[in-house]
Amino acid sequence: MRANLLVSALSISIVFSFSCAESAYANILDELEEEDRVLVERGEQVALTEDVEDSAWPHVYVYQKIDANPEEVTAIFTDYELHQEMFREVGIVRSVIINRPDPATAIVESTMTFPVVFGVQLKDEAFTTWNKVKLLTSSKSYRVDWGSLETETIKKIAGDLKIEAFSSGSIIRYHSFIVPSRPNFAQLIVQMAIDRVKQTIVLFNNQVEDEKQNDPQRLLGQVEVLRRVLGK
C-alpha cells in the first residue's frame, strides 16, 4: 500500500505542478474586494468560503499579513513535523514525514483529533498526504500544495498556501478543502470546521512571530532546509 501511495504522490505532484503553473502567479490581494483588501493590508484576518455542491463543508480561504519574508514563512510552514506542535490546538497531534519521493515533495502521516460535539466524541482521523513546495521564480513567491493519499473516514483533503512579498513582510492565502464523511452530521459542525481553519492561521502567525523574535537559529535551520529542497 505504501509503495502505491508513493507512486501516486509522484504522479499527482507532477500533474499538479503543471496544472497550477498559470493560476499560481495571480496576485493574492487582487483576489479580494477593496474592503477586504484594506483589512488584510492593515493586519486583520479575512476568511472567505465557497460552497461546493456535493460537500457538507465549503472551500475555506484565509488571507493574512505576516511579519516575515516569503522565504521565512514558507520555511516554517514546510517544517511538516513541526505541525504536531504548532497546530496541536486545532487537533493535529501527529505529523511525521515518512518519505520524500523528490526533494520538494514530502509524504506526511498525520493524526487529527476532534472535540466532543453534541455529546458525541468524534473518532480521531489518521491520514496520509502528499505535500509539494515550489518557488515561483518570476514573482519570487512560493506555493505549497497538498492532497490526501490515504484516509480512514474523511473522503478528501486538499489545499494550498500561497506566499507573496508585501511591504517588509508577506501576504498569505491559505486554502483548505475537506470532504467529510457523514454529511448530515458534518453540516451541523460546519462552523466549527471553518473556525478551525481560521485558528490554524492564527497559530501559524504566532509561530512565525515567536521564531523571528525568540528562536532565530531554528528559523535559520528551516530556511536552509527549504533552500536545499528547492535546489537553491
Residue-wise pLDDT tens digits, 10-50? 455 444 444 444 444 469 999 999 999 999 999 999 999 99
pLDDT tens-digit series, residues 79-108? 999 999 999 999 999 999 999 999 999 999
User: Which residues, other chains included, contact 15 with Cβ-Cβ below 8 Å and sequence gap of 6+?
Assistant: none
Amino acid in the structure at residue 26: A
pLDDT tens-digit series, residues 131-174? 999 999 767 899 999 999 999 999 999 999 999 999 999 999 99
Q: Where are the beta strands (DSSP E) in 115-207?
A: 116-117, 120-121, 125-136, 141-151, 156-166, 169-179
Q: What percent of the chain has pLDDT over 70?
A: 88
Are the C-beta atoms of 70 and 170 separated by less than 8 Å? yes
Query: What confidence category does residue 127 fall into, taking pLDDT thresholds of 50, 70 and 90?
Result: very high
Per-residue pLDDT at 219 exceeds 80: yes
Burial of residue 34, with CB atoms counted within 10 A of its CB: 0-12 exposed, 13-18 middle, 19 or more buried: exposed
The CATH number corresponding to 2-229 among 3.40.50.2300, 3.20.20.80, 1.10.760.10, 3.30.530.20 equals 3.30.530.20
Quote the pLDDT of residue 26: 63
4 or 130: which leads in pLDDT: 130
Task: Tell me the three cell numbers of residue 159.
Answer: 489545499
Indicate the pTM of the whole model.
0.88
Quote the pLDDT of residue 5: 52
pLDDT tens-digit series, residues 152-162? 999 999 999 99
Are the C-beta atoms of 106 and 97 separated by less than 8 Å? yes
**C-beta contacts of 97-100 below 8 A and 24+ residues apart:** 98/2, 98/128, 99/2, 99/6, 100/229
